[in-house]
A and B are shown apart, each in its own frame.
Chain A
Amino acid sequence: MKLKIPRQEMPEQDQKLRVRNFQEVPYGFTTELAQLEAGRCLQCTNPKCVNGCPVNVDIPEFIRQIREEDYVNAARVIKLRNILPAVCGRVCPQEEQCEAHCVLGIRDKPVAIGNLERFVADWAMKTDAIKAPMAPPKLNKRIAVVGSGPGGLTVAADLLQLGYTVTVFEALHEPGGVLVYGIPEFRLPKSIVSHEIEYLRMLGGRIELNTVIGATITIEELLQDYDAVYLGVGAGLPHFMNIEGENLCNVFSANEYLTRINLMKAYRFPEYDTPKPEGNKVVIVGGGNVAMDSARNALRCGAAEVTIVYRRSRKELPAREEEVRHAMEEGINFKLLTTPIRFIGNDISWVKGMECMRMELGEPDAGGRRTPIPIERSNFMIETDLVIISIGTGPSPLIFANNPNLERNRWGYIVVNLETMETSIPNVYAGGDIVTGSATVISAMGAGRTAANAIHTKLSGE
């Protein structure tokens, strides 16, 4: 009776120890745990979990391979549909995707698909078991992929495996997009990201770093050299609150804070040259995953007290449940139903506090979320010496430079045909956050998959 095996929990680093290092919090399944958990899968003939996965990994099949103890083949099955399994196993919101569709979840807890995916990917990485499949015959068609985040990497891998010649252009000095600058080391070790990206090079992909499309090369120029262009540039422009004192010293956007710590390795300053922002009483404004990442990074950088200030209540926190739980376990304070109205500086213009107002929740808005309303005369002060603003991002304007033809919606995101991801410029495709606004790693990969299929249909059909 399979239902009798409970869902296996992943062992985690002790919370007192982990706040003082940048090592991963969950240790991953042991072989024994993976076997037990894989044993829970019912091997449905009509599996719902696969539909819940934006890139349609053949989940029952890779779990079956785990049961057979054939981890190499398990990894192959996943890799066929997803070139970043070690990443997705760690950062996907499985509870809303594959695991939400697992039939076991109706009466019990769903199969821990994400943890099993991570187990297989880590195993393959440790044993270096996965080699690139044999190169397909070359099609003599060239594809330019702009942005090396998860969406761009998926498009590139899919088209390489069909025989296209693919060049990926990246503005930063390292590929990976949000995987390298945004998600912290303790949640996604950078060695894992670079290992998974190496697979793209094994497939024959070229990655051109330090190349800003819109500045170094224009989209128009790309179209002269490539048969199709995919724009997977993300939504990296940080929003600020536009309130008094926001430009004081030691007030950061989450993007800047995380880029310094993660990409530039400021947490290892002065061994690395980028200075580490420091504060004793750190405040993060916002309640998403990025806010949780910032808060937990600040703790590991030596802050005595870290507080998340969010204008709605616990229930509305946009961050994943697991991230909120980790943050709370680590001792991060939550000041809910609170919003800053101004920042206050000391005599040399460093932030020393912020004035806040308490909020109450009004009627649900069009999207169903209850609007926060400030409570009059509820003002109070919070002492702080480092503020991280994490209230969301928008589309960066650079990709649109000299490109009036690229149609955008009223929020500035690129308009695409959702079946093909083609933009208003023929043969220029787009997907991920630059189309939808900030979403998840896996949804960007799903968009990349759709675009790769459409590009192949168009280029091979015409």
Chain B
Amino acid sequence: MYEVLRKEEMADGSIIRLDLHCPLIAGKAQPGQFVIIRANEHGERIPLTIADCDAFSGVITIIFQIVGKSTALLRGFKAGDYIKDVVGPLGKAAEIDKVGTVVVVGGGTGIAILHHVTKAVKAAGNNIIGILGARSKEYIIMEAEMRQLCDEMIITTDDGSYGTQGFVTDALKKCLDERSDIKLVYAIGPIIMMKYVCRLTEKYHVPTKVSLNPIMIDGTGMCGGCRVGIGGETKFCCIDGPDFDGHKVDFDELEKRNSMYLKKEKDALLFSIR
């Protein structure tokens, strides 16, 4: 059992932040790694990226969007409650070198994950341009934390309610057109966003890393539920990733596999509110 120490609702209550007491995980977790959580005895196992951690106090932070039954269930937890199972840190840590200027691109809840990775990008001594995007103003999360880490910051919203109107790819294209010193792009967000970021950077020959979010069960390499095509080879996201060379990822396959249970997910939600 793992205690919830703090809960915060963001983006109109559609995004939740939980701080969990998991000393062993907090002592080991590196940016890019994730945990698998099972809320209760009847629950399913879902992967959530570690958005922050503090080894000293033994705390890890998870930030997630309410998208279905399990995340709705997790939203019900408050400080003092206990989550049944938390296991990690899983996956490979983000590999970050000093390369010069790095653009970090985050979309929606992906910003939460990007924040942890950006800490490592910063610690490696890089110059950082941050591009954060969302549907509208209230869905831009962790802006203050990201501003602290980034040397420059661009914000885009689909509806223009904050920052520049448009997609993160529009802002990224502008950066790539104007500057020649961009050595690496790190993109974390919805699959469709990562796919278009990679299509763009491919044209500019700028290496691009993405953090993938397939369906997982165990998260330790024993089922292959999270397998994804990388440059024509099948990789298991939970042990070979979740970070991959974005130019090699078969995003269409990932998108289709992630939609495999859409109907079942609805059934589960209906069952729970019945």
Q: Which residues of A contact B (CB under 8 A)?
A: 171-173, 209-212, 215-217, 236-238, 240, 242, 246-247, 249-250, 252-253, 255-256, 259-260, 264-265, 269-276, 348-349, 396-398
**B3 in the interface (beta carbon within 8 A):** no
Select A274's contact among B44, B85, B250, B267, beta carbons within 8 Å: B44
Q: Which residues of B contact A (CB under 8 A)?
A: 24-25, 28, 38, 42-45, 69-70, 73, 84-90, 217-218, 220-225, 227-229, 234, 239, 250, 253, 256-257, 259-261, 264-265, 267-268, 270-272
- Majority DSSP secondary structure for residues of A touching B: loop
**Could you tell me if A275 and B268 are in contact, using CB atoms closer than 8 angstroms?**
yes
| Complex interface: chain A residues within 8 A of B239 (CB) | 396-398
Select A349's contact among B42, B43, B88, B253, beta carbons within 8 Å: B253
| Complex interface: chain A residues within 8 A of B253 (CB) | 247, 349
Beyond the given A240-B227, A256-B224, A265-B42, please list 13 additional residue pairs across the A-B interface where CB-CB is below 8 A: A173-B84, A211-B87, A212-B90, A212-B220, A236-B222, A247-B228, A256-B217, A259-B218, A269-B267, A273-B70, A348-B256, A396-B222, A398-B239
A selection of 27 A-B contacts at a CB cut-off of 8 Å is A173-B45, A210-B85, A212-B87, A215-B28, A215-B90, A215-B220, A216-B87, A238-B222, A238-B223, A247-B228, A247-B229, A247-B257, A253-B223, A256-B217, A259-B217, A259-B218, A264-B45, A270-B267, A270-B271, A270-B272, A271-B271, A272-B42, A273-B69, A275-B264, A348-B256, A349-B256, A397-B221
Select A271's contact among B25, B42, B70, beta carbons within 8 Å: B42
| B196 vs chain A, min Cβ distance (A) | 20
**Could you tell me if A273 and B223 are in contact, using CB atoms closer than 8 angstroms?**
no
| B34 vs chain A, min Cβ distance (A) | 11
A349 nearest in chain B by CB position:
B256
**Could you tell me if B85 and A259 are in contact, using CB atoms closer than 8 angstroms?**
no
**Could you tell me if A275 and B265 are in contact, using CB atoms closer than 8 angstroms?**
yes
| A205 vs chain B, min Cβ distance (A) | 19
In the bound complex, CA of A246 to CA of B229 (Å): 10
A274 nearest in chain B by CB position:
B44
In the bound complex, CA of A260 to CA of B38 (Å): 14
**Could you tell me if A253 and B264 are in contact, using CB atoms closer than 8 angstroms?**
no
In the bound complex, CA of A255 to CA of B28 (Å): 28
In the bound complex, CA of A246 to CA of B43 (Å): 28
**Could you tell me if A172 and B223 are in contact, using CB atoms closer than 8 angstroms?**
no
In the bound complex, CA of A438 to CA of B42 (Å): 30
| Complex interface: chain B residues within 8 A of A253 (CB) | 223-225
B216 nearest in chain A by CB position:
A256
**Could you tell me if B85 and A209 are in contact, using CB atoms closer than 8 angstroms?**
yes
Select A259's contact among B28, B90, B222, B259, beta carbons within 8 Å: B222
**Could you tell me if B225 and A256 are in contact, using CB atoms closer than 8 angstroms?**
yes
Select B223's contact among A215, A242, A256, A265, beta carbons within 8 Å: A256
**Could you tell me if B234 and A247 are in contact, using CB atoms closer than 8 angstroms?**
yes
| Complex interface: chain A residues within 8 A of B224 (CB) | 238, 240, 252-253, 255-256
B250 nearest in chain A by CB position:
A247
| Complex interface: chain B residues within 8 A of A247 (CB) | 227-229, 234, 250, 253, 257
Given contacts A173-B38, A249-B260, contact A255 B44 (CB under 8 A): no
B233 nearest in chain A by CB position:
A242
Given contacts A272-B42, A274-B44, contact A249 B86 (CB under 8 A): no
**Could you tell me if B268 and A270 are in contact, using CB atoms closer than 8 angstroms?**
yes
| B169 vs chain A, min Cβ distance (A) | 25
| A393 vs chain B, min Cβ distance (A) | 8
In the bound complex, CA of A119 to CA of B2 (Å): 40
| A368 vs chain B, min Cβ distance (A) | 30
Select B89's contact among A216, A270, A272, beta carbons within 8 Å: A216
**Could you tell me if A172 and B89 are in contact, using CB atoms closer than 8 angstroms?**
no
| Complex interface: chain B residues within 8 A of A265 (CB) | 42
**Could you tell me if B257 and A171 are in contact, using CB atoms closer than 8 angstroms?**
no
| Complex interface: chain B residues within 8 A of A276 (CB) | 264
| B237 vs chain A, min Cβ distance (A) | 12
Select A273's contact among B218, B220, B250, B268, beta carbons within 8 Å: B268
| A49 vs chain B, min Cβ distance (A) | 35
| A39 vs chain B, min Cβ distance (A) | 45
| Complex interface: chain B residues within 8 A of A210 (CB) | 85-87
In the bound complex, CA of A264 to CA of B218 (Å): 10
In the bound complex, CA of A112 to CA of B43 (Å): 41
| B39 vs chain A, min Cβ distance (A) | 8
